[in-house]
Chain A
């Protein structure tokens, strides 16, 4: 996503190495994704579902 839009930054964080951050974001399982400190996505999702959730786009009808 970062490669596709210069406004997006993507960090992959090793959860056990950065325990303070893991605690801050309540990482109890992986993968866990945090977007702009507000959106939380638990687990892996199919591509479109993930991007919709990350960008807070409305659900498809």
Chain B
């Protein structure tokens, strides 16, 4: 049984219809010694990908796929790397994307797939003026 209800799927499909660029969701999971949330993340990503053919899921092994792990600088799993037309958006999600995290995932997919960033022009100017590497970590919970 799917995690998304029929109604969720209908609404989500409509939102995702605005995507014009391919979006790859690279999921790192740990088969042994990892948490069950990796499987939940996989199911959620596959259900989202099933709603729009521009979205694909690529699964990587956190323990074995060391080259990809280094490439995307992944240090914990489950991890989701969001690519826009094979280009790293530098947006990452760690843990199963349920609850509020799910909303964040969908928003990240829309940014990656449309190129549209919904920020005020002034805010955008401040962000674009950043000249040093900046690492933002946002902690949240599903509820």
**Chain A residues within CB distance 8 Å of chain B:** 1-18, 21-22, 25, 27, 30-37, 47-48, 51-52, 54-55, 57
Interface Cβ pair total, 8 Å cutoff: 139
In the complex, the chain A residue whose C-beta lies closest to that of B87 is A6
Please tell me the size bucket of the interface on B.
Answer: 35 or more
Give A12 Cβ to nearest chain B Cβ, in Å: 5
**Chain B residues within CB distance 8 Å of chain A:** 35, 37, 76, 89-96, 101, 104-105, 108, 111-112, 117, 119-120, 122-124, 126-128, 130-142
Residues of B within 8 A of A55 (CB): 126-127, 130, 134
Residues of B within 8 A of A13 (CB): 93-95, 137-140
